[in-house]
Structure 1
């Protein structure tokens, strides 16, 4: 049966291993799984203002299960000269997206149902009406600032303005997603420090338990 000193050493080693694993995983996830970008224009107002910094999760668009409402970053060199573009997913493969309304008021529908868009500042728009059935593996993307966004509506003659899912490189996430990973990293570091302290205390206690005159190696037997 282990004495108190041995239990402290064992607990210290366990806490240290867990701390290294947790801190390492969280930091690696932050450094390799997420990045930041700056909003370059007014196309996503009022959700994002020009100059706002956003966090995004690096994703492979073809495997990321992108959904309507996601704000994504993608590259389409043929349309945007390789710039990183930020827009919102309005419809995915197989869905029919269209507009309806009179005068300046425009409502977006998907498969005949009005799309709930609480992120819009206004439903007014000068853009022409459209109706597009999105091919499988592609996305119909719009900016939130509908009167000042060069999005899928500007390229309707090219596969309905849609963008291939595999062009997507990131999905915008709230800052809280990173906060929890950073909290996990700090917790892992604390566990590591606690483990080191317990290990040192246990080692010192174990040395003190060695009878006077006993060989040094007996402290570790």
Structure 2
């Protein structure tokens, strides 16, 4: 009986260690996620699975122009380690739900940049952006200009006419950029 209990305890410890390691890797190194919605068409499709590097989030560094990022759209509230834990794929699987606050977007501008949208086109620091990834021309809207504050990025979806992005939610703090697509 003693040998049996030792064997069970060894299995329990191994499984617990594997779960902890899986959660830590998913929180700090990389994780799979799913695209929800059509805001990144034609680059990414609704329900497509992608993998993201979490290193930018872990070390709080600025993503580069054109990077496809996962963001927490709740930019008006601070993020905590609890948010990172609850967004882990294993925890989401247990809770059986996707988080509708996680958006997949493209970085258009970084700290200090000026973004202007006029005549359905995007200008970065006065220069028209070449955006071959955009699905279709933007619907006309009144011209708008933003200056990205320090520690933030400006993101847009590739399907501009069907995307909730920085035009609506505002600038995204670095700690709300949860990962960069591989």
**Which TM bucket (shorter chain)?**
0.5 to 0.7
Which structure: greater helix fraction? 1
2:160 alignment partner, SS class: coil
For residues 65 and 153 of structure 1, what CA distance do their matches in structure 2 show?
20
Match of 2:114 among 83, 93, 96: 96
Determine if the alignment matches structure 1 residue 73 to structure 2 residue 70: yes
Q: Deviations over 1:22-62 (max 9, x none)?
A: xxxxxx98996221111110111111111111111113446
TM-aligned CA deviation for residue 78 of structure 1: 5.6
Aligned 8 A contact 2:36 2:47 in 1: yes
1:31 and 1:137, CA in 2 relative to 1: closer, same or farther beyond 3 A? closer
For residues 40 and 54 of structure 2, what CA distance do their matches in structure 1 show?
20
How many residues end up aligned between the 2 structures? 137
Match of residue 32 from structure 2: 36
For residues 65 and 112 of structure 1, what CA distance do their matches in structure 2 show?
22
TM-aligned CA deviation for residue 125 of structure 1: 2.1
TM-score (norm 1): 0.56
TM-aligned CA deviation for residue 99 of structure 1: 1.4
- Report 1 or 2 for greater relative contact order, CA contacts < 8 Å, sequence distance ≥ 6: 1
Gaps of 5+ in 2: 1-23, 78-98
For residues 26 and 72 of structure 2, what CA distance do their matches in structure 1 show?
22
CA RMSD, 1 decimal: 2.6
Aligned 8 A contact 2:35 2:44 in 1: yes
Match of 2:51 among 46, 51, 55: 55
For residues 51 and 77 of structure 1, what CA distance do their matches in structure 2 show?
21
TM-score (norm 2): 0.67
Aligned 8 A contact 1:59 1:168 in 2: no
TM-aligned CA deviation for residue 153 of structure 1: 0.8
For residues 165 and 32 of structure 1, what CA distance do their matches in structure 2 show?
15
Match of residue 115 from structure 1: 129
Q: Deviations over 1:61-102 (max 9, x none)?
A: 46333111011112133679872211111100000000122x
Match of residue 178 from structure 2: 169
